[in-house]
Amino acid sequence: MDLIRRSQYGLPATSAASPIAKTRGTKVHYLGSAYPSRRHDLCDDYVRAVRASHLANTQENYSDIAYNALVCEHGTVYEGRGPNRRTGANGTKALNDTHYAVCALLGTPGGGLSSPPDAQLHGLRDAIEWLRAEGEAGDEILGHRDGHPTSCPGDALYDWVRNGAPRPGAVPPPAKPVVDLSRLISAATVDPPKSGTPVSYAGVRAVEAALLAEGLLAQSLVDGHFGTSTIRAYAAWQRRLGYSGAAADGIPGRTSLTRLGTAHGFTVID
């Protein structure tokens, strides 16, 4: 990570922004105006200019540059407010309380640099991971437009965010299986009386594999048939979560299934 601290490029060593202990994650921003590409030795000048414009904004009354970090096209991370400082960039107090803000030095189409180069994407990932390591940022990576009416961070960068903000060249993780709760409940209702091992819903196998991993179902019974053995195993899972009586009847519910999916890599839909 190529990180330039505040004092290294002429800012006060510590931000005047309010302290914050942790966040749910980080939101990605762009400049929202034309940004001509420039030599690397001029990037710190631009970051200082951004800070000066923020401090001059009497309507927003910023105490410092609004972002926790800024990333130039060359992949260098410039410390803005830094970790454990509340951002001023996400649009409202509530949004500023829940996420840090990282800004790409990237502009709108038609006026210079508007599509992030690979070096900048690596730098954005560096900044996000730095805020996680030093500022207790959570796992969420969102765009400024998530939760606030704005086009920021632009379509090109937002597509990257929606794709999981991968490092260039990284192999994307395999897609998680999706389990439809209503179809699963139907299978748990209609499968047990049937002889043999008919499969009425393919998503059953993902649930059975999770129950196997929990030590609640035998390998030989991971067959896609939501029979009596799977019902007994799922009831044991419900009891493990603290349910009892009719609430631990072996028929999946939204909360218990979501917790099983979170633990074993499948997504639940209704």
Per-residue pLDDT of the chain (270 residues; tens, 9 = 90+): 999 999 999 999 999 999 999 999 999 999 999 999 999 999 999 999 999 999 999 999 999 999 999 999 999 999 999 999 999 999 999 999 999 999 999 999 987 899 999 999 999 999 999 999 999 999 999 999 999 999 999 999 999 999 999 999 877 667 788 999 999 999 999 988 887 888 889 999 999 999 999 999 999 999 999 999 999 999 999 999 999 999 999 999 999 999 999 999 999 997
By CB neighbour count within 10 A (0-12 exposed, 13-18 middle, 19+ buried), where does 49 fall? Answer: exposed
Instruction: Give the span between the Cα atoms of 182 and 171, in whole angstroms.
Output: 33
Instruction: Give the span between the Cα atoms of 125 and 44, in whole angstroms.
Output: 19
3-162, superfamily in CATH?
Peptidoglycan recognition protein-like (3.40.80.10)
Domain with CATH 3.40.80.10 in the chain: 3-162
Phi first, then psi, for residue 178 (nearest 5°) are -110, 130
pLDDT of residue 172: 66
Amino acid at 99: H
pLDDT of residue 194: 85
Q: Which long-range contacts (CB under 8 A, 24 or more apart) does 50-53 make?
A: 50/103, 51/11, 51/80
Whether the pTM exceeds 0.85: the reply is no
| CA 117, 122, 123, 125 torsion-angle sign | positive
